[in-house]
Chain A
Amino acid sequence: MTFADHLPILPVMIPALAAPLALLAMRRRPALGIAISLVSCLALFGCALALMASVSDGTIHAYAVGDWPAPFGIVLVADRLAAMMLVLTATLALLALLHAIVTRADRKGWHFHPLFQFQLMGLNGAFLTGDLFNLFVFFEVLLIASYGLMLHGQGPARLKAGVQYVVVNLVGSSLFLIALGMLYALTGTLNMADMGLRVAAVAPQDQGLLRIAGLLLVSVFALKAAVAPLHLWLPRTYAVSTPAVAALFAIMTKVGVYSLIRVVPQVFGDGAGAAAWVPAPYLFPAAMVSAVIGFAGVFGARSLSEQAAYSVIGSTGTLLIAVAGWTPESLGAALYYLVHSTLAAAALFLVADVTARRRGAFADTASPGTAFTGRGGVALLFMAAAIAATGLPPLSGFIGKLMILKSVAALPDWGWAWGVILATTFIGVVGFARVGSAVFWKSTEDCEAPAAPASRRDLAAPVMALALLAALSAGAGWAGAYANAAAAQVLDPAQSAAAVLTEGAR
């Protein structure tokens, strides 16, 4: 085996090693700990790009951990979709880490950097694994780290929201285990590719159980993705988190969406007999409701960070409207929009933080505060982030929404999808305009709460996020083609089953 063969395990290994090293270094030499964290993120980015280059021709790498053959051991599967998510995670991690270091948010507690690395380990593992139980384990890794990160900085508001967040996710994890137990009892395997082949052979009297297991599994993913009516945990949690952490959390809901896209075609695809596409009829209405709720929240938000949190729900809803079509075109459009909406949400959280740091006691509440120096620049950043989040030209949200509208036009319920997407875009635009004009145009003469001066260095991360969105817009041809190819690969489970079960069994 050459070094390139071990590439799929590196995105899990690097943060797993960096986290304890950073933990050891932070006590004595904080600078060294930060350097370890930063180097690890850069290395992850390099690995993700290398992996993306190696799978872009359509090969699927199956890495048998410990060299145990495929259906028995755990396999990591790197295909186009996984590589894309890895690159997105690494990019987002670099942005969030940069912002945390520049604003010194990482110094509010001892363990920011180790937790950050463990979070990345969980995310990367969840994107790579080809085993359902292993997916559960990586979910837990990323959740445990996220509990710590969410509470970073502490304070009563975070603790209150933290209890709710932890309790909701514990219930979700328990339901995940029940679904896994049922699927294992019915099919006798936990390998996703193998399970996809075996579901067809489930006895007729067990079809009801199979359907329940499938729906339970999808409900858990919907809980992680914050799809209505399981979205209630999200706004408060994200709005009170440290902004750099909230920017990283923008990808946490996408883990749920990713798991849906990965598991449903593979296990409950065309080959699943009576249980084929069992979640499909529920996903479409739920997606539309979450799009409406999300953008209604954007409209009614009381602060910039709350608005950003609701925009996460809204964009996940828009994304799932396309996913629920389960055609290569709609899934491709959804994957392009997924990359865009993750970066856009991160940009919104970062801009909210930049604003809050300058407004002193007014923080990021959606009310007129004292005018601060450089308000025009920050206002421009907010406008750009709002344009991205609502999907107006010239940023990539416009292209993403256009692709989604075009791809769902061929589906039977296209009228509903078009109506909801266009109406929510309008509500979103009005909501962002309302908050933006209150925060950036009006001002009060309140000498009690002076504006807080802040150096311009904290503008770096949001500007970079917006530049990436512009790049995604400029490179839409290439990115769209890649997303479509990834979608086609995901919707062809036989291809990945062949790769996993033969290559992994070498």
Chain B
Amino acid sequence: MMSYEFLVASAIGVLVAGGIFLALRARTFQVVLGLTLFSYAVNLFLFASGRLVIGRPPIWDAVKGGAVTEYTDPLPQALVLTAIVITFGMTAFVVILALRSFLETGSDHVDGDTVPCDAQDGLAKADDGEDTRA
């Protein structure tokens, strides 16, 4: 049966897999995308660390005398908000840095090799149209 937990867990898993695959690529744009996907997965994971609860208030309802189990944990939501803000800023920074590095060194390789962009293997064919702009 496809439960809510399974859905969230598999979504996190797919995001992590995609993120790690892209983060291990050689060129900065793919690495940045990979890091972004990975950070989405991390945010979802943090959110789930307060347990997945549906239709409950984020505070304990003292008037109705609800048990402590009948609320959704508000803290992970605050944590996720912090994490989102930080990763958003970081992503913006790394995009600018990667662009600046590309413009100044003439290479968008993460390892710093100065490979001319139109002489790159494999992927060069796939996105040839964009690479020749340099």
A residues at B contact (CB < 8 Å)? 133, 137, 140, 144, 147, 151, 154-156, 159-164, 166-167, 170-171, 173-174, 177-178, 180-182, 184-185, 190
Chain B residues proximal to chain A, CB less than 8 Å: 23, 28, 31, 35, 38-39, 42, 45-46, 48-51, 75-76, 79, 82-83, 86-87, 89-90, 93-94, 97-98, 100-101, 104-105, 110-112
Give the chain A neighbours of B101 by CB distance below 8 A: 156, 159-160, 162-163
- Assuming A171-B23, A185-B50, is B93 touching A159 (CB within 8 A)? no
Contacts of A161 in B (CB 8 A): 112
In the assembled complex, the Cα of A147 lies from the Cα of B94 at a distance in Å of 10
CB-CB nearest in chain B for A139: B86
- Whether A167 contacts B46 by the Cβ 8 Å rule is no
- The interface residues of chain B lying within 8 Å CB-to-CB of A181 are 42, 45-46, 48-49, 76, 79
Q: Is the interface of B mostly helix, strand, loop or mixed?
A: helix
Q: Are A160 and B112 in touch, CB under 8 angstroms?
A: yes
Are A174 and B100 within 8 A (Cβ)?
Answer: no
> Can you identify 23 A-B contacts, CB atoms within 8 angstroms?
A140-B90, A144-B93, A156-B101, A156-B104, A159-B104, A162-B101, A163-B28, A163-B94, A163-B110, A164-B110, A166-B90, A166-B94, A166-B97, A167-B35, A167-B94, A170-B39, A174-B35, A174-B42, A177-B45, A178-B45, A181-B45, A181-B79, A185-B48
The 8 closest A-B pairs by CB, nearest first: A181-B49, A160-B112, A185-B49, A159-B101, A181-B46, A156-B105, A177-B42, A174-B42
Output the nearest chain A residue to B28 by Cβ-Cβ distance. A163
Q: Are A178 and B82 in contact (CB under 8 A)?
A: no
**Contact of A182 with B49 in the complex, beta carbons under 8 Å:** yes
Bound complex: CA of A173 vs CA of B86, how far in Å? 10
A423–B46 alpha-carbon span in the complex (Å)? 45
A155 to B105, CA, bound (A): 9
Task: Give bound CA distance, A178 to B49, whole Å.
Answer: 9
Instruction: Identify A184's interface contact among B31, B42, B49, CB under 8 A.
Output: B49
A184 CA to B87 CA, complexed, in Å: 20
Tell me which of A137, A160, A177 contacts B105 (CB under 8 A). A160
Q: How far is the CB of B42 from chain A (nearest CB, A)?
A: 5
Q: CA of A174 to CA of B45 in the docked complex: distance in angstroms?
A: 11
Kindly provide the distance from the CB of B126 to the nearest chain A CB, expressed in whole angstroms. Answer: 23
Residues on B with C-beta less than 8 A from A178 are 42, 45
Contact B82 A133 (CB under 8 A): yes
Question: Given A137-B82, A147-B93, A170-B90, A159–B49 Cβ distance below 8 Å?
Answer: no
* A155→B101 CA distance, assembly (Å): 9
9 additional contacts, CB 8 Å, given A173-B86, A173-B90? Answer: A156-B104, A163-B110, A167-B110, A170-B87, A170-B94, A174-B38, A174-B39, A174-B87, A190-B75
Contact pick for B89, options A137, A144, A177, CB 8 Å: A144
On chain A, the residues within 8 Å of B94 by CB distance are: 163, 166-167, 170
| In the bound complex, CA of A173 to CA of B82 (Å) | 13
Q: How far is the CA of A185 from the CA of B75 in the complex (A)?
A: 11
The chain A residue sitting closest to B100, CB to CB, is: A159
In the complex the two chains form, what is the Cα distance from A185 to B73 in whole Å?
Answer: 10
Residues of B near A147 (CB, < 8 A) are 93, 97
Contacts of A171 in B (CB 8 A): 23, 35, 38
Nearest CB of chain B from residue A29's CB, rounded to whole Å: 28
Q: Which of chain A's residues have a CB closer than 8 A to the CB of B51? A: 185
Is A170 a contact of B49 with CB atoms below 8 Å? no
Beta-carbon contact of B93 and A184 below 8 Å: no
User: In the complex the two chains form, what is the Cα distance from A151 to B90 in whole Å?
Assistant: 15
Please state if B97 and A159 are interface contacts (CB–CB under 8 Å).
yes
> Which residues of chain A come closer than 8 Å to B93, judged between CB atoms?
144, 147, 166
* Closest chain A residue, CB of each to CB of B36: A170
Nearest-neighbour CB distance to chain A for B104, whole angstroms, equals 5
Chain B residue contacts of A190, Cβ below 8 A: 75
B residues within 8 A CB of A160?
Answer: 101, 105, 112
> Is the beta-carbon distance between B46 and A180 smaller than 8 angstroms?
yes
Give Cα A166 to B76, complex, Å: 26
CB distance from A385 to the nearest CB of B (A): 29
Min CB distance B103 to A, Å, is 9
A164 to B104: give the CA distance in the assembly, Å: 15
**Complex interface: chain A residues within 8 A of B98 (CB):** 163
Are B105 and A159 in touch, CB under 8 angstroms? yes
Chain A residues with CB under 8 Å of B111's CB are 164
Contact of B86 among A140, A159, A164 (CB under 8 A): A140
Smallest Cβ-Cβ distance to A169: which chain B residue: B90
User: Smallest CB-CB separation from A183: which chain B residue?
Assistant: B49
Cβ A133 vs Cβ B79 within 8 A: yes
Chain A residues in 8 Å Cβ range of B45: 177-178, 181
